[in-house]
Amino acid sequence: MTVSAKVAVCRGKDAPFTIEDATLDALRPDELRVRIVACGVCHTDLAVRDGQLPVPLPIVLGHEGAGIVEAVGSAVTAAKPGDRVLMSFNSCGDCPSCAVEAPTYCYNFFPHNWSGTRADGSPTLFRDGAPLHANFFGQSSFATHAIAHQRNVVVVPESAAAIPLERLAPLGCGLMTGAGAVLRSMKVRAGMPVAVFGTGTVGIAAIMAARIAGANPIFAIDINDDRLALARELGATHTVNARDDVAAAIRAACPAGLGYALDTTGIARVIEGAFDLLAPKGKLAMVGASGPEATLAFNETAFMGQGRTVMGVLGGDSDIGPFLHELIDLHVAGRFPFERLIGYFDFDAIDAAVHASETGSVVKPVLRITPE
Ligand code: CXF
Ligand code: ZN
């Protein structure tokens, strides 16, 4: 059976998103059809719109979808019709990374997330009878309905029945990335100093996670004073405007250096500066996107001689289901109050939501698409 949907079509950098009629393909055995209630806007959506990632245009973006399952293929066990679900990235389930529950590093990430079609090349979406690129992160949730997959949906537990899906939607990317970098990738230890460079969704999620881990002190660094004030309310013990002498401020409070540093900016000199601030055995994780030509330089003596670790991190090393449940439990317990980051927009105000993300007036814009 095919199903009609309204979808927001992205045609590139200089074009507005346009809401158009489309038709979903029939479900395959391992797929689900989800009515989308809400979807967060992530910087990766905008990087694709701007041609910075190898994703074909025009396409239907959106990869922080939350909704209600309407139908499932014959082999689906992950959810059933009527379930409230979150969607995240997709993965193959067969490669060496997926075999060790590290699906963010799936060897087949591109065909399952960024090819604009299913991994076998078939389209999931049509407009006027012709294929339209979709299946972005295995969902394309800037739409009233999406085809998702057995491996990228997570059922919201009963314990969160009172939490609206429109609030939970961003867990599937930005929030899990920041929290996972702290709790899963670096495994931050209680009582150790942490610095987070950049206070967008990922950075503030990391700061909240650092507080959960018992880190101390927790530095937030950014050029935006409003964001720094929010970071302080949500866990930062120290804030530093990046226009000031960041190294001096951190060294004054932490003469031995940082146990952990997280870069969300992707700026080489910020990353190198963070490395220079590490204590012995210190860990530096990088989650920010840099240009394709970017390289980094670290002092070898400090690197080896102090047993430091530098790690690239994708998606907070999330294994999706278990980690999203852990974050939902923390939210229900009031320890991960990410609702403070969200600003809501109607679906047809998608360009305003994107603008709010780009200007920084809203940390995490979320589109309200159909009523829960
Ligand atoms: C992704 C990167 C690959 C793993 C999941 C999260 N980031 C999206 O914005
Ligand atoms: Zn994202």
Q: Average per-residue pLDDT in the chain?
A: 97
Given pLDDT bands bounded at 50, 70 and 90, which one contains residue 291?
confident
Q: What is the CA(255)–ligand 1 centre distance, in A?
A: 34
User: Does any ligand 1 atom lie closer than 6 A to the CB of residue 314?
Assistant: yes
User: Does any ligand 1 atom lie closer than 6 A to the CB of residue 44?
Assistant: yes
Q: What is the CA(241)–ligand 1 centre distance, in A?
A: 27
Q: What is the CA(239)–ligand 2 centre distance, in A?
A: 25
Contact present, 178 and 206 (Cβ < 8 Å): yes
pLDDT per residue over 20-35, tens digit each?
A: 999 999 999 999 999 9
Percentage of residues in the chain having pLDDT higher than 70: 100
User: Does any ligand 1 atom lie closer than 6 A to the CB of residue 90?
Assistant: no
User: Does any ligand 1 atom lie closer than 6 A to the CB of residue 315?
Assistant: yes
**Whether residue 182 has pLDDT greater than 80:** yes
Q: What is the CA(105)–ligand 2 centre distance, in A?
A: 15
**Whether residue 192 has pLDDT greater than 90:** yes
User: Does any ligand 1 atom lie closer than 6 A to the CB of residue 89?
Assistant: yes
Percentage of residues in the chain having pLDDT higher than 90: 98
State the CATH class of domain 175-315.
Answer: alpha beta
pLDDT per residue over 70-127, tens digit each?
A: 999 999 999 999 999 999 999 999 999 999 999 999 999 999 999 999 999 999 999 9
Per-domain boundaries in the chain: 3-172+337-368, 175-315
Ligand nearest to the CA of 62: 2
Q: If DSSP states are collapsed to H, E and C, what string results for the chain? A: CCEEEEEEEECCCCCCCEEEEEEECCCCCCEEEEEEEEEECCHHHHHHHCCCCCCCCCEECCCCEEEEEEEECCCCCCCCCCCEEEECCCCCCCCHHHHCCCHHHCCCHHHHHCCCCCCCCCCCEEECCEECECCHHHCCCCECEEEEEHHHEEECCHHHCCCCHHHHHHHHCHHHHHHHHHHHHCCCCCCCCEEEECCCHHHHHHHHHHHHHCCCCEEEEECCHHHHHHHHHCCCCEEEECCCCHHHHHHHHCCCCEEEEEECCCCHHHHHHHHHCEEEEEEEEECCCCCCCCCCCCCHHHHHHCCCEEEECCHHHCCCHHHHHHHHHHHHCCCCCHHHHEEEEEHHHHHHHHHHHHHCCCCEEEEECCCC
User: Does any ligand 1 atom lie closer than 6 A to the CB of residue 354?
Assistant: no
State the average pLDDT over residues 316-331: 97
User: Does any ligand 1 atom lie closer than 6 A to the CB of residue 170?
Assistant: no
**Whether residue 1 has pLDDT greater than 80:** no
The pLDDT score that the predictor gives to residue 2 is 77
State the average pLDDT over residues 308-324: 97
Ligand 1 pocket test target in 314, 318, 324, 357 with most atoms within 8 Å of CB: 314
Superfamily of structural domain 3-172+337-368: Medium-chain alcohol dehydrogenases, catalytic domain (3.90.180.10)
Contact present, 364 and 201 (Cβ < 8 Å): yes
Q: In Å, what is the CA distance from 195 to each residue of 24, 87, 218, 269, 355? A: 45, 30, 6, 15, 28
Q: What is the pTM of this model?
A: 0.98
Taking CA atoms only, the protein residue closest to ligand 1 atom 9 is 44
Q: What is the CA(173)–ligand 1 centre distance, in A?
A: 6
Ligand 1 pocket test target in 49, 177, 320 with most atoms within 8 Å of CB: 177
Beta bridge partners of 38: 66, 368
pLDDT per residue over 31-61, tens digit each?
A: 999 999 999 999 999 999 999 999 999 999 9
Q: What is the CA(89)–ligand 1 centre distance, in A?
A: 7
pLDDT per residue over 213-261, tens digit each?
A: 999 999 999 999 999 999 999 999 999 999 999 999 999 999 999 999 9
